[in-house]
Structure 1
C-alpha cells in the first residue's frame, strides 16, 4: 500500500485518541462516526436509538444559559414508560469522583495522609495484598497501586460476590499487576478500599460523609448513595444487549443520581466550588475532573468542556461488555459535543 493511501485511511476514524486503520474497524462504528451531523442535540439523541440503545438521557449546562434536557427511548421497556430526563440513573464509576473529593477533604483536615500506606490503614491486609507496606493512599487514588481489579478475576462474573468481603476476596492473594508507583492500572479495588477507609476514619458510612460534605452544600437532592434510598420506579431500567432482564434492581453499592445533579457536581468540581480552602490543590494533585461509568445495563459520561464552558452528561441504559456498544455511546457523546461547538453564541 502506498504511503499516501495509508495516511488517508488513518485519518478516517479516531476512537479513544488512537488512530486505527479502517480495515480493522467494524463498519457499524465507521458509519456511526461518518453519518451527517444533525443540526440539534435532540436529533442526535433520537438517532442514538438506531444504535440499539433502549434509552438515552442527555443534560447540557452551558454557562449563562438555561440548562437543556433531552431524552429518547424507554425508561422502562417492559411497561412502555418513555425515557424522561429527571430519571435516577446508576452512575457506576462516576462515583469515584465523589470519593476522590471526599478523600481530598479528609486529607486537608489531616484525618487522612496521602503518604500513609495500605498496611498502615489496614494491617490485616499485609500478606493478602502484595506490596501493602509500599502502596500509599496517593497511589490508590491515582490507580498506581498495582492492586488487581476484582472484576478481572475469572470467577467474578460466573460466581458474582454476594457482599463486600466476597468482592474483596477476588483481589486478595494475587500477584501485583506492577510495582507500586511504577505503572497505571485502573482498579475498582482501589476505590472500594478507599471507601472502606473513609468509613473507618469518620466512623460512619462514607455515603453519609459525601452527603454532608458534598451533596448538601451543593444542593444536590437527587443524588443517592445506594439503591435502598430511592423509589425503584424512578430508576431508569438497565438492559444487556440480547437479554430481556431488567437490571435496575441489582444493588451495586455505587451511587445513583439524575443527569442534572451529576452535571451540577461536575461544574462545581471544575470551577472549584465543591472545595473549601486548600482542598482543590490536593484534589488536583491526585485525580481527574471527568469520568465515565459502566455497569451491566448502564453507561454514563460526565465531562466539562472548557472551550465552550459547557458540562455534558450522557446516560445510556443499554450496555454489554463484548461488542461495540460502548464505542457507539462514545461516538454519540462526541457528536453531541461537536453539535454544541457548532452552535452560534446566542
Structure 2
C-alpha cells in the first residue's frame, strides 16, 4: 500500500471513529473509561451516580462468608436506602428454575424432550404453526420458531395479565423460522413449558419448583409473584419516562439476591439435582442468566476461575436499553475488583 493510500485509509478510519461516537451514549463511554475503584462499594456508588436509582450485589466466593452490598435508593418517594436483602423481580432468571423442573420431570419419566407441543397441548395444533414438529427440547433451547409474545408491537405499554392473554398475541401467526433451524430467544417457549408442566402435574408447576428446588435448598425468600409478599419488602422499580413505582405490577418471580445466589451455586455444583438429572439439564439449558422486566434488571452468574457467584440487581430501566448495557459494564467492573483480591487468582 503506497503512502497516499495509507493516508486515505487513516483518514477514513478516523472519520468513522468520530462518527460512531455520536451514536454511543456518553454515559456508557464514561462508565467504561472511569478509573476502576478499589472496592465493590465504591463501584456501586459510581453506578448510582451514572443513573441507577438503586443497586444490590451479592457475592458468594468459596472460602469466604457471603458479602452483601447496596447503594442508592430502595424507594424514591420515601428516600429509603437500598436494602441488600430486599426482594426483587428476577425476570428471565426464572427460566433457570423452570429448566431445572423440566429436567427433573424428564428424568422421572413424566415429560419427554422428544414429544411435541401438539402431543401435550393438542388444542394448539393449527393455532401454533408447526406444533406437531416442535419438541420440548426445541422449546427449552429456544429453537422452536414460535413468535415471541413480548416482541409484539406496544407490548410493554399495556401488557396482558395472564398466560392465556399472552398466548393469544401469537396464535395463528406464521412461525419465525422452521423448528430446529435457528436459535432465537423467545418467552413464549417458557410460557408453553409452564402450561405443559401444569397439565402433566395436575397442579401449578411452581408448587413443584417449591417442593423440589426451593425447599431442598432451604430458600425462604423466593416467591412466584409479588402478589404473594408484603410489597414493603420489595425493592421499588422505575422506568425512565414513566413516573410511577412499578413494584406492585405482577411480572413473575421475586427473590432476594442471596436466594438467587444460593440457587445458582447449587445449579452449578449440581447439588440441586438428584443422580442423572444434571446430565439432562446440561443437554438442554445454560447455567447463568439475565433478567429484565420494566423497572428491574438482574444478572446471575457463576465464575469458575474464582469459584464465585455474583448477583447484581439494578432497579432502573429505560426504553432504549442503555441501562441494560450500563448494567453489563458495571458488572464487568465489579468482577475486576473481586478478582483483584481473590485468592484463586493471586
Structure 2 regions of 5+ residues with no counterpart? 1-7
Q: Which residue of 1 aligns with 2:3?
A: none
Write the distance in 1 (CA, Å) between the matches of 2:154 and 2:31. 34
TM-score (norm 2): 0.93
1:301 deviates by 0.3
1:166 deviates by 1.0
Q: Which residue of 1 aligns with 2:217?
A: 218
Q: What SS is found at the alignment partner of 1:277?
A: coil
Q: Which residue of 1 aligns with 2:181?
A: 182
Q: What do residues 90-113 of structure 1 show as CA deviations (whole Å, max 9, x unaligned)? A: 001000000000000000001000
- 8 A contact 2:219–2:259 mirrored in 1: yes
- 8 A contact 1:130–1:173 mirrored in 2: yes
Q: Which residue of 2 aligns with 1:162?
A: 161
Write the distance in 1 (CA, Å) between the matches of 2:323 and 2:161. 27
Structure 1 regions of 5+ residues with no counterpart? 11-19
- Map 1:1-346 to 2 at 5 A: 2=9, 22=21, 24-252=23-251, 254-345=252-343
Larger Cα Rg: Structure 1 or Structure 2? Answer: 2
Q: What SS is found at the alignment partner of 1:182?
A: coil
Q: What do residues 160-183 of structure 1 show as CA deviations (whole Å, max 9, x unaligned)? A: 313221111111111111100000
The root-mean-square deviation of aligned C-alpha atoms, in Å, is: 1.9
- 8 A contact 1:240–1:319 mirrored in 2: yes
Write the distance in 2 (CA, Å) between the matches of 1:304 and 1:213. 22
Q: Residues 323 and 115 (structure 1 numbering): CA distance in 2 closer, same or farther, change over 3 Å?
A: closer
Q: Which residue of 2 aligns with 1:15?
A: none
Q: What SS is found at the alignment partner of 2:262?
A: helix
1:77 deviates by 1.1
1:158 deviates by 4.2
Q: Residues 261 and 50 (structure 1 numbering): CA distance in 2 closer, same or farther, change over 3 Å?
A: same
1:27 deviates by 2.4
1:323 deviates by 4.3
- 8 A contact 1:297–1:318 mirrored in 2: yes
Write the distance in 1 (CA, Å) between the matches of 2:230 and 2:75. 14
Write the distance in 2 (CA, Å) between the matches of 1:49 and 1:184. 35
Count of residues paired in the alignment: 335
- 8 A contact 1:156–1:170 mirrored in 2: no
Q: Residues 121 and 31 (structure 1 numbering): CA distance in 2 closer, same or farther, change over 3 Å?
A: same
1:155 deviates by 4.4
Write the distance in 2 (CA, Å) between the matches of 1:88 and 1:4. 52
Q: What SS is found at the alignment partner of 1:218?
A: coil
Write the distance in 1 (CA, Å) between the matches of 2:129 and 2:153. 19
Q: Residues 125 and 316 (structure 1 numbering): CA distance in 2 closer, same or farther, change over 3 Å?
A: same
Q: What SS is found at the alignment partner of 2:280?
A: helix
